[in-house]
Homo-oligomer: A and B are copies of this chain.
Amino acid sequence: MTEKMTLSAARYFDSEPRQLEIASRLYSLVATAPLVCPHGHVDPRMFADPDYQFGSPADLLLIPDHYIFRMLYSQGMPLESLGIPRLDGGPVETDHRKIWQIFADHFHLFRGTPTGMWLAHELQDVFGVSEKLNGRNAQAVYDQIEASLKLPEFRPRRLFERFRIEILATTDAAADRLEHHRAIRESGWGGRVVPTFRPDGVVNIDRPDWKQNLIELGEVCGYEISSYVHLIRALEERRAFFKEMGATATDHAALTPLTVELSDAEAETIFERALRGTATESEAARFTGHLLMENARMSIEDGLVMQFHPGSYRNHNQVIFEHFGYDKGCDIPVAVDFTRGLRPLLNRYGNDPRLTLILFTLDETTYSRELAPLAGHYPAVRLGPAWWFHDSLNGMRRYRDQALETAGLYNTTGFNDDTRAFPSIPARHDLARRADADWIASLVVRGIVDMEDAEEMIHDTAYRLAKKAYKFD
């Protein structure tokens, strides 16, 4: 039995009729508003070449998406069987129809998950698939997607326009030469794709690839990064270059939100110990914490918005990391302490309205306990949207429930899709807009805000907050 897909027009809304009606009304105001995508991981290469073509359906939808293959892996399917490339070049499944079949056979695993919701939207709205995916229709659906991908209207630039993307920020390493961004600019195409400066690879000295990253940074800068002083100089130069190339923001990850101000001498000593491979875990954390403060200082100087998202224990599964590398669905969150951790940075720079520091968390306990009070006080602090595992209907509800009464809506920054899955972008924004409309409607029916305010708020959450926070003018 196959079943028609039924993406309800009122999906994700509370079913109580009054709230449903108001949510629908609010949603209709922004359903087709342009998409502002200030934080994500789409590969800019696909926009640099006007004739870029996506690969197979598995290439496009499964193999790069760790949200999907982590779930299949958790149920016992080897990553090799899903076509995930091994670092050692060992054999993995190359028959993309087989991979697709495994996925379709197990599509029930995604019931109730955001991935399932995005995929349902994407299959229907982007690819025109009219049935719920299952093992029986897997190959027919594959055929349909494969055929679509050959059409000119499925070139990335065409989809970018069809999706009504107003601006798309990518995430790029400090040493990135931004050649694709340059090519996009020089091509005369009107799509706005901007880089984001992410220096983790060169400031987190405990990364396995740190020295290699330093070498690449040295090559692009034209001098060896042989000291802390060189590193600071290189960061400042690269920030200036990124800004020139359209960047409005930087992006920073760390295991903990620790910030600390080191003397130049201490920073230099740790840097040297790291070069020799003798820096301790605590020194690495302090160095990262110091570099966060240095980047805040630079942000005040150059105006780039600073994003910070600590709390992910990267590559928790050593076996998978060794065989498959980074970003394979095995980053697991830990509890964090923003209150004590950020105090040095905030006492030094947090009262300066020239700084915009957008904070993200995977530890939801910090919403009400730490982040909302911080965002509701410090002029520099803004609260980013529900992130990663929490970029979901329930995750967004918890975020709004726990953060907004204290932080206030206007210390938040709207939605971002944070995705490398380009065709999922409309689905993700749509889900967020529906969730916001539902939330604002719940305030209306409870007499907390009136319709005048509600209409302002839905425009803010869907579009204006992100544009303002990221200084997209």
Contacts and interface: CB of A to CB of B under 8 A. Distances in A.
Interface in A125-170: 132
B73 A379 contact: yes
Interface string A400-427: 0110111011110000000000000000
A341 to B, nearest CB: 10
A370 B333 CA distance: 6
A466 interface: no
A62 B394 CA distance: 36
Interface string A335-346: 101011001001
Interface in A434-457: 443, 445-450, 452-453, 456-457
Interface string A372-387: 1111111101000000
Given A347-B318, A377-B74, A410 B340 contact: no
B313 A340 contact: yes
A369 B376 contact: no
Nearest to A373: B332
A336 B188 CA distance: 55
Given A449-B111, A457-B111, A76 B379 contact: yes
B408 A446 contact: no
A326 interface: no
Chain A interface extent, by class: 35 or more
Interface stretch (A12-20, A224-232, A261-269): A12-20
A25 interface: no
Interface stretch (A50-58, A199-207, A357-365): A357-365
Copies in the complex: 3
A113 interface: yes
A381 B404 CA distance: 31
Interface string A1-37: 0010011101111111011000000000000000000
Contacts of A233: none
A297 to B, nearest CB: 16
A398 interface: yes
Contact of A447 (B7, B377, B449): B7
A87 to B, nearest CB: 16
A170 to B, nearest CB: 25
Contacts of A353: 76
A376 B74 contact: yes
Contact of A15 (B16, B337, B368): B16
Contact of A368 (B73, B112, B339, B390): B390
12 contacts: A13-B446, A109-B410, A112-B457, A313-B339, A317-B351, A319-B347, A332-B373, A333-B339, A333-B370, A334-B339, A395-B405, A398-B402
